[in-house]
Structure 1
Amino acid sequence: MSFKDWITYLLQRFLWYVETPRSERKELKRSQKEPWSTRWFGLVPFSMKMALNRQRRMRGRSNE
């Protein structure tokens, strides 16, 4: 990437930032954010949570 391309990219990003309303930028940021456990450890915490929830449901049914 040449210096000219880099400057062009930075200007495009800056103009997008200036032209986009603050509320829209915040909403976009919220929608793209993933949980920290997924970011750090992948899908392992998610699968463990699903397994624990399933065990809890099964225990609740057997007690009834």
Structure 2
Amino acid sequence: MITISGNDYVKYMTEKVVTYMDSSKEQRKAAKEKENREQAVYSNRWFGVLPFAVKMLRKKAQ
């Protein structure tokens, strides 16, 4: 597990907040939409792995 000091965490969060505040509303909206699209693809990947895992378990059981 990675541990960081309190000062490093505050610095990181401050940079994130400043970056967020400096971006325009359109940029924030586009970033949020992009994140939502990527999450949907990621969940589809899991359903793609599940049938493959079942197939491998059946093959191993034989």
Moved over 6 A (4+): none
- TM-score computed with the length of structure 1 as normaliser: 0.55
Whole-angstrom CA distance in 2 between matches of 1:28 and 1:41? 21
- TM-score computed with the length of structure 2 as normaliser: 0.56
What number of residue pairs does the alignment pair up?
A: 45
Whole-angstrom CA distance in 2 between matches of 1:30 and 1:43? 22
Q: Which has the larger radius of gyration?
A: 1
Whole-angstrom CA distance in 1 between matches of 2:35 and 2:15? 20
Residues 1:35 and 2:36 are matched in the alignment: no
1:3 paired residue number: 6
Ranked by relative contact order (alpha carbons within 8 Å, sequence separation 6 or more), the top structure is 2
Which consecutive unaligned segments of at least 5 residues does structure 1 have?
A: 46-64
Amino acid at match of 2:34: S
* RMSD, matched Cα: 2.8
Identity over aligned residues, as a percent? 16
